Each structure stands twice: as structure tokens, then as C-alpha cells.
């Protein structure tokens, strides 16, 4: 009888260690990350994470609209983390039960307005919409050099700027949707869509992602563009002659991080969130990303010192932007 019991015990131990081995093997699977901000910045962060944890990763660069389409419309699974992108994207993931709760220890120092009250997403940085102007292009254009620089969205509708501006597409770009949603919350849906359509007709093209608008601006393809301020400052810091203006009642973003329910590596995903919100990583990232920190003990990049955040739309709601996503985009399509 005791031999039979011993065999059962050995079998149980074998099963335990077998599962443990499988679990350890699974944890070495690449962490699959959708990165919504610049791919080079995302790769640097993930490489540093890999050096510290020995965790392999797969990075997939996507715009916010792309990520929303893949995760919500196509129902793609196997992705572990959505890193960056406006909080309304993360609210959509929460509302569609695509993400899981995780409240990292570092979140305790982040003000409530920069994180989800239920713990489904946590803010990593804050950014503002801005009108960027390439000063070199502006001064060399005989039609523009005598004009005041645009500081309101309506200023971009001057006839002299026809075909010389660019805005991001609200269907594919989180920047573009933030522009549409913030205008809708400020002015109402009809006026917001009308202004966006007017800006579209004024534009040489609509870009797939907001940082592409900033890149075209820096390269001199456009005289002016709308993007997040951080994208413009990134190029300004590299020597491009760009001036930036935050329009009155401008929209803004909380760049957030979420862990997805359909991922294969939740434990590593939680470690990545902890890593991203750590003091050292936040300090280094704010120095290179030109975004505002959401944690109070992180220094602000000197290029952001003159920025007046009182120009922002203080009442902008990310949850409302998420709820109205399909309605606003349907209205945008119908107006075209």
C-alpha cells in the first residue's frame, strides 16, 4: 500500500515540476508590445528593460487608430502590452474588456486625473496639441513672411496657407482623434467636424500618424502643421527651425500603458509597467520625449518651461472621447 502511495506522490511531484518547467519556458516567450509613440524611443526602452530582466520582446509600432482597429475590430490576441497612445484608446480597451486591472506601486504617487480609477491603465506622460510652424519655410514664402504666425486653428484657414499645412487623420491617428474629440467637447460635434473638414480641405494631405505631420514640418514640406507638442520639440531639439503654439482650449493627451487580457506573458507585462513607471526611467524618458511628467517628483524638460498649460481644455474627458469614438468618426465620414 505504501508503495502505491509513494508512486502517487512521485507522480504528483513530477506533474508539479512539469508545470513549473512549462511555466518558466512560457515566461521566456517574447513580450509582445504595441508601441504607439516613436519606434526608436520604444526600442531603446525595451532594450533597457531586456538588459535588466533578460526578457526578450517583439516591438510592433502602430498608430493609435491602427491599434484600435487590430485589437477591437479584428479582435487580435497574443499582444501583451499597449505602450503609449492617448488615454481614450486605453479607455476603449477597458470598455471592451480587452485589458486587465493592474495598479503598480508607482501609481500611488500619480494624481488621480492621470490614471484610471479602476486600475485598467496608468498614465506615463502628458502632452498637448500644438500648431507648429517651420520658420525657415514661412520666412522664405513671399505670401507668408508678412503674416502673423498662426496661434489658433482658424488661423490655419487663411487662403495664403492653402496646400501648405498638414493635419493628422482622426481615423488612423490618436493625435487626429484628440483634435476632433477635444474640439467636439469644446464646441459641439457639428462645429468640430466642420472645422476639421475645413482644415482637411486646406491641407496638402492628411497624415496616417501625428508624428509624421511633425516630421514633414521639420523637413520643410509644410509651413505649418498640427501635432502633439512633444513631436515638434523633438525635431526642434535636433536643430530644426520650428516654433510651436498651443491654441486656446487645446486638446491634450495622457500617454498611458495597459496590459491586455489576450496576452501570453502577463507576468513580464507587469514587470514592464513597473519598469516604465520607475523614477529613473521616467526621468530619462522625459528628457528625450519632451512630454510633461505625470508623477510630481519627475523634473520637466527645460524646453517645456515656457509652455503655458492654462491654454489647455481643462474639462477635456478621455472617457467621453472613448464613448463617442464611433459616433464622432461616423459624423466625420458622413461630412466628407
Taking only the tens place, the pLDDT of each residue in 49-96 is 999 999 999 999 988 888 988 998 888 889 999 999 999 999 999 999
Rounded average pLDDT over 292-296: 92
Q: Which of 156, 110, 113 is nearest to 132 (CA)?
A: 156
Residue whose C-alpha cell reads 496657407 in the numeric block: 161
> Domain locations in the chain?
11-126+253-300, 127-252+325-335
Neighbours of 58 (CB within 10 A): 14
* Residues in CB range of 61: below 8 A, 6 or more apart: 35, 39, 42
Q: Give the per-residue pLDDT at 99.
A: 96
Distance (Å, rounded) from C-alpha 305 to C-alpha 314?
19
Read off the C-alpha cell for 72: 477591437
Residue whose C-alpha cell reads 459624423 in the numeric block: 331
Taking only the tens place, the pLDDT of each residue in 240-256 is 999 999 999 999 999 99
Fold of 11-126+253-300: D-Maltodextrin-Binding Protein; domain 2 (3.40.190)
Q: Give the per-residue pLDDT at 288.
A: 87
Taking only the tens place, the pLDDT of each residue in 212-269 is 899 999 999 999 999 999 999 999 999 999 999 999 999 999 999 999 998 999 999 9
Contact between 214 and 232 (Cβ < 8 Å): yes
**Helix or strand holding residue 132 (H, E):** strand 122-134
Q: Are the folds of 11-126+253-300 and 127-252+325-335 the same?
A: yes
CA contacts within 13 A on the Cβ side of 210? 33
Q: For residue 262, give Cα distances in angstroms to 72, 92, 99.
A: 12, 15, 8
Taking only the tens place, the pLDDT of each residue in 150-196 is 999 999 999 999 999 999 999 988 899 999 999 999 999 999 999 99
Select 127-252+325-335's CATH number: 3.40.190.10, 3.30.1360.40, 3.40.50.300, 3.30.565.10: 3.40.190.10
The model's pTM is 0.87
Read off the C-alpha cell for 144: 507668408
Amino acid at each position: 500500500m505504501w508503495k502505491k502511495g509513494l508512486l502517487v506522490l512521485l507522480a504528483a511531484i513530477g506533474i508539479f515540476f512539469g508545470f513549473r518547467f512549462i511555466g518558466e519556458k512560457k515566461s521566456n516567450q517574447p513580450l509582445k508590445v504595441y508601441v504607439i509613440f516613436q519606434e526608436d524611443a520604444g526600442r531603446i526602452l525595451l532594450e533597457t528593460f531586456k538588459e535588466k530582466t533578460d526578457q526578450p520582446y517583439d516591438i510592433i509600432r502602430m498608430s493609435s487608430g491602427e491599434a484600435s482597429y487590430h485589437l477591437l475590430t479584428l479582435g487580435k490576441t497574443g499582444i501583451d502590452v499597449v505602450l503609449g497612445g492617448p488615454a481614450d484608446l486605453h479607455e476603449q480597451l477597458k470598455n471592451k474588456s480587452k485589458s486587465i486591472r493592474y495598479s503598480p506601486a508607482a501609481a500611488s504617487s500619480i494624481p488621480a486625473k492621470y490614471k484610471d480609477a479602476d486600475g485598467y491603465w496608468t498614465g506615463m506622460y502628458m502632452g498637448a496639441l500644438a500648431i507648429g510652424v517651420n520658420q525657415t519655410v514661412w520666412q522664405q514664402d513671399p505670401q507668408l513672411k508678412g503674416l502673423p504666425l498662426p496661434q489658433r486653428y482658424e488661423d490655419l484657414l487663411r487662403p495664403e496657407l492653402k496646400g501648405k499645412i498638414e493635419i493628422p487623420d482622426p481615423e488612423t491617428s490618436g493625435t487626429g482623434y484628440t483634435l476632433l474629440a477635444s474640439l467636439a467637447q469644446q464646441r459641439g460635434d457639428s462645429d468640430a467636424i466642420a472645422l476639421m473638414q475645413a482644415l482637411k480641405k486646406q491641407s496638402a494631405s492628411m497624415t496616417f500618424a501625428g508624428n509624421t505631420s511633425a516630421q514633414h514640418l521639420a523637413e520643410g514640406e509644410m509651413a505649418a502643421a498640427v501635432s502633439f507638442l512633444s513631436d515638434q520639440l523633438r525635431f526642434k531639439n535636433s536643430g530644426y527651425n520650428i516654433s510651436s503654439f498651443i491654441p486656446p482650449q487645446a486638446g491634450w493627451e495622457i500617454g498611458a500603458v495597459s496590459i491586455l487580457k489576450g496576452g501570453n506573458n502577463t507576468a513580464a507585462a507587469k514587470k514592464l509597467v513597473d519598469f516604465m513607471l520607475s523614477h529613473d526611467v521616467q526621468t530619462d524618458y522625459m528628457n528625450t520625449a519632451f512630454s510633461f511628467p505625470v508623477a510630481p517628483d519627475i523634473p520637466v524638460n527645460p524646453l517645456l518651461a515656457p509652455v503655458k498649460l492654462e491654454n489647455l481644455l481643462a474639462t477635456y474627458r478621455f472617457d467621453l472621447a472613448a464613448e463617442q469614438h464611433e459616433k464622432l468618426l461616423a459624423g466625420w465620414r458622413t461630412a466628407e
